[in-house]
Amino acid sequence: MNNDFAHSATSLTRWLKIRATPPSLQDNTADLDRLRRAVVEVVGNRPLLIPFNRTAKVALRFRRAGFTGFAVINDLGTTFELVDFVGGNAPVRVGVALDLGTTHLEATLIDLGDGRQLAHANRENGQIPFGADVLSRVHRADEPGGAAVLHQEVILSINGLIATLAKDGGISAGEIRALSVSGNPVMTHFLLALETAQLIREPYIPSANLIDPCHGADLGLVIHPSAPVWIMPGVGSYFGGDLISGIIASGLHQEEQVCMLIDVGTNAEVVVGCRDWLIACAGAAGPALEGGVARMGMRAGAGAIEHVEIEPGSGEISYTTIHSEKPRGICGSGIIDLVAALYLARIIDIRGKFRPACGHPRLLSTGEDLAFMVATPEEAADGRPVLFGQIDLDAVMRSKAAMYSILTTLVNQVGVAFGDLHKIYVAGAFGRHISPRQAIVLGMLPDLPLTTFVPVGNSSLAGAERALLDRGARDACRSIIRQITYLELNVNQEFMIRFSGSRFIPHTDHTLFPSVPFYNQD
Amino acid sequence: MNNDFAHSATSLTRWLKIRATPPSLQDNTADLDRLRRAVVEVVGNRPLLIPFNRTAKVALRFRRAGFTGFAVINDLGTTFELVDFVGGNAPVRVGVALDLGTTHLEATLIDLGDGRQLAHANRENGQIPFGADVLSRVHRADEPGGAAVLHQEVILSINGLIATLAKDGGISAGEIRALSVSGNPVMTHFLLALETAQLIREPYIPSANLIDPCHGADLGLVIHPSAPVWIMPGVGSYFGGDLISGIIASGLHQEEQVCMLIDVGTNAEVVVGCRDWLIACAGAAGPALEGGVARMGMRAGAGAIEHVEIEPGSGEISYTTIHSEKPRGICGSGIIDLVAALYLARIIDIRGKFRPACGHPRLLSTGEDLAFMVATPEEAADGRPVLFGQIDLDAVMRSKAAMYSILTTLVNQVGVAFGDLHKIYVAGAFGRHISPRQAIVLGMLPDLPLTTFVPVGNSSLAGAERALLDRGARDACRSIIRQITYLELNVNQEFMIRFSGSRFIPHTDHTLFPSVPFYNQD
């Protein structure tokens, strides 16, 4: 992880201290030309534009402030933009970093002067009523009026979140002078009101991967109208700015040794590489690993069973829940623990099928299928037992197989062995809660020393924060998307072959997982 | 005069032929990134921005056109802007050049492909009811709501003129993709809704001399909303874009030998220099030389007496009028002819006073003063004689003295003699209609061979046309305003001394005008 932030001096918006000589008959330089001259002295020769809708305001404010104060500059990458002039000695200098997730938005209010976090908030994505997942939302957007509604909902959600941040930070939303946004390609397209249909149709082409920064007013946001909005660029329809954020936040692009970054959601996105090269791929892993399984799956939230153990001898079960509340369901990390434990206790076999012969008292027939009762009705929050059935198990087996196949196809493509990986960064809620050991038992993650696995938390948000504060990070984004090679798994034969071999616990080739006990098929 | 136009290839807006490979699974570059790549191949590495309000449109049009057609690019100087994509083979490529005058607007519709003039039109400035001259308009703008009204009036005038041009050119106004505007600092400030009050108060500082090109939509113009609007930059409150246009149109900035450019209006603006240096000054000449004298003065228009002769022996008078209509008044060139003729016929003396002793039958007493009847009631359009009185004469004497003092102060400052001037370019209606010989007799222009004087017509419009078509001209504007030295006459002692000496015909020092007969004071 790279933590050498360079604050303020290179943030997306900058305040330059200006003390200009007032005009006189001997020095009749026009006000804006005088200001421009002073700014160029500080920022150098990169093109400096003054947007027309700021021209009169900037000129007047510079004059009224007595030609002394702070020029407010947006860093648009290849150009600078002079958007305001503020008198006084201590201007408010704040920006927001936003993780624009499909289900949740998470954001931080940041002091652009010193990089401090001033407030943190999250909320549900208001688009959910229009489609639970990106695919259904893209279909909805294709209906008459749909695209406008989905764009508006995401703007409303962001504005709501910003209002909360502003309140918590003790400022007004209009004082927020910069925003950086990290999201997947579909969310980014909705935000920018770009057409989404082509994202999900072969050959899966985004309208744009790299967007020039726009302004708060362009999007109808409640931040300052001329605040620049930086959108983390993507690489393709299935590899978006959230992943580039992951690379930036983990520092993968600066590593001397080959490392890997894994981000697991409904899609599993994986990058392998170092400072010299990067190769990425993404594949459908199914919702199982996010807790999206049939019966009692849930996202990581209060009352979710997050860790499960089964004593192999006695078959006795124990679990913990998030916030120690009574169990309501089971989340991704809980499911991985559970399936691994079921295997080690020989309640399921290497194909991931329940073994009625094991005779475990918690193994029940629901009529529809066999199911394991993780929590009893007495223990549960609502009196309904937390059950995990064969259908759920099948979904997990497909997901874990997809995950491992993606990883092996990628490293094989690159010509490195898993053992060559210096670190494996694991992003998101999955990375924060998962026990790598149980994922290895399942045959989902490669059998490596546990110290190899490094959780990186919400790296989508962390990347957005870096981009907000550090020009180096923004430049790195632009260079990463040029440099990265994207492997399309949807058309990859090798992936399909590997997928079949991965549909066992831990794998058909159990020599790949020397640390995991191998139980021959009954 | 420099006429080596470089058309289309470097015009303010450009159409780049693009034929991109369609996307595929093997080449999944996003649409806009694909287009951007194709554009950069043509235009090189200058920053290329896509304004947010064009992003979705450009992406969609590029895709719908089958990735083949024309990218529409605005040349903003230090950056390019990609604003549209047009399918088909022969896009309409037109722009407008505008001379934004205080009293009149004059404009041409130009084919940006080959530089041809497609239409020409002019109209009165709609601001006139709010003030006849710039000074009264600036005062009006300082009243509540005044600035908005004056801004709106100039926009309405421009839109009206553009509608005429579009109709005459057989296109719709929305197809006009570029506009270049040349005007004095006050008019430019009104156009851009910048504060004008400071232009007329010491130390006379414009809000801005150089403005980044804005867009049609920014100004509420009826041209294409993303058409760039290039504003000819100025140098100071009394030396604006219209003068820079004059330099560009005359080619003064490229001359090997020292030349001079004179633009006479209410203000006289003068530039002397060559390709290595330029020095400019401006001074109040009074309205007399524009026909703005008390009794029967008028601007050069139908029925204006534009040339006058008086037979020195017989004292017989003859004149011509514009469009040969019956006389309604007398314009600037007619006034200069008249005063010179009055002097040569000894009807006025070297101080510019009527000589009652001359006994000319047309010399009358009006009760108020003495006056010369240029046209009789029978000859005149409305039955009222065209009279030219002592008060008018005094105004002309002040104006011509100011003019000559400005010229002498400037050349003296530079250290050249009038005889060193290779050419004297004379701009505007004044330059088109004036007889240099009569202006020399008056002692208004220096006593040089008549071939030295070159009329350059409406050089404000000609400069705007050059800037519309040729990047070299726009670059030259930027470099001229950095390079030019502006001499402030309002605080110049030498000017005041020279002014006194110039208030005689031709001058107190008649050796300066060897070609003009000198009549000792009676």
Confidence of residue B119 (pLDDT cuts 50, 70, 90): very high
In angstroms, rounded to a whole number, what is the distance separating the alpha carbons of residues B420 and A516?
99
Confidence of residue A2 (pLDDT cuts 50, 70, 90): very low
Confidence of residue B1 (pLDDT cuts 50, 70, 90): very low
Which residues of chain B from 471 to 490 reach within 8 Å of chain A, CB to CB? Answer: 486, 488, 490
- Range B308-330 average pLDDT: 92
- Range A379-396 average pLDDT: 92
Confidence of residue B243 (pLDDT cuts 50, 70, 90): very high
- Range B234-262 average pLDDT: 95
pLDDT tops 50 at residue A7: no
DSSP state of B22: P
In angstroms, rounded to a whole number, what is the distance separating the alpha carbons of residues A49 and A73?
10
In angstroms, rounded to a whole number, what is the distance separating the alpha carbons of residues A106 and A117?
13
**What pLDDT was estimated at residue A444?**
93
Q: Smallest CA–CA separation between B362 and chain A, in Å?
A: 49
pLDDT tens for residues B123-144?
999 999 999 889 999 999 999 9
E-assigned strands of B147-251? 176-183, 214-215, 228-231
In angstroms, rounded to a whole number, what is the distance separating the alpha carbons of residues B100 and B242?
8
Q: What's the gap between Cα B505 and its chain centre?
A: 29
Which residues of chain B from 135 to 194 reach within 8 Å of chain A, CB to CB? Answer: 192-194
Flag if B486 and A28 touch (Cβ within 8 Å): yes
Q: Is B230 helix (H, G, I), strand (E, B) or coil?
A: strand
- Range A27-37 average pLDDT: 93
H-run or E-run covering B158: helix B146-169
Q: Which of A170, A167, A185 is nearest to A240 (CA)?
A: A185
pLDDT tops 70 at residue A288: no
Confidence of residue B428 (pLDDT cuts 50, 70, 90): confident
**What pLDDT was estimated at residue A221?**
98
CA-based radius of gyration for chain B: 26
pLDDT tens for residues A440-456?
999 999 999 999 999 99
In angstroms, rounded to a whole number, what is the distance separating the alpha carbons of residues B283 and B270?
9
Confidence of residue B51 (pLDDT cuts 50, 70, 90): very high
Residue pair A347/A311 in contact (Cβ under 8 Å)? The answer is no
The minimal CB distance from A208 to the residues B49, B59, B203 is found for B59
Residue pair A137/A131 in contact (Cβ under 8 Å)? The answer is yes
Q: Which of A55-59, A246-250, A396-400, A516-520 is predicted with the least confidence, judged by mean pLDDT? A: A516-520
Confidence of residue A294 (pLDDT cuts 50, 70, 90): low
pLDDT tens for residues A470-486?
999 999 999 999 999 98
- Range A194-222 average pLDDT: 94
pLDDT, chain A, mean: 91
In angstroms, rounded to a whole number, what is the distance separating the alpha carbons of residues B253 and B261?
10
- Range B345-355 average pLDDT: 94
pLDDT tops 90 at residue A114: yes
Q: Is B486 helix (H, G, I), strand (E, B) or coil?
A: strand
Q: Smallest CA–CA separation between A29 and chain B, in Å?
A: 7
Residue pair B317/B310 in contact (Cβ under 8 Å)? The answer is yes
pTM, two decimals, is 0.90
Q: Give me the helices (H) in A299-415, please.
A: 332-344, 390-414
A56 touches chain B (CB under 8 A): yes
A377 touches chain B (CB under 8 A): no
Flag if A194 and B59 touch (Cβ within 8 Å): yes
Q: Which of A69-78, B5-14, B27-36, B380-389 is predicted with the least confidence, judged by mean pLDDT? A: B5-14
Strand order of the β-sheet with A453-457 is A453-457, A424-427, A259-264, A267-273, A278-284, A485-488
Flag if A194 and B52 touch (Cβ within 8 Å): no
Q: What percent of chain B has pLDDT over 70?
A: 96
pLDDT tops 80 at residue B432: no
ipTM of model = 0.88
Confidence of residue A286 (pLDDT cuts 50, 70, 90): low
B47 touches chain A (CB under 8 A): yes
Domains, chain A, ordered by start = 13-86 (3.10.20.880), 94-241 (3.30.420.480), 257-287+396-512 (3.30.420.40), 294-395 (no CATH)
Confidence of residue B267 (pLDDT cuts 50, 70, 90): confident
Q: Output B217 or B297, whichever has higher pLDDT.
A: B217
Q: Which of A45, A49, A219 to mutate to test the interface with B (most CBs of B within 10 A)?
A: A49
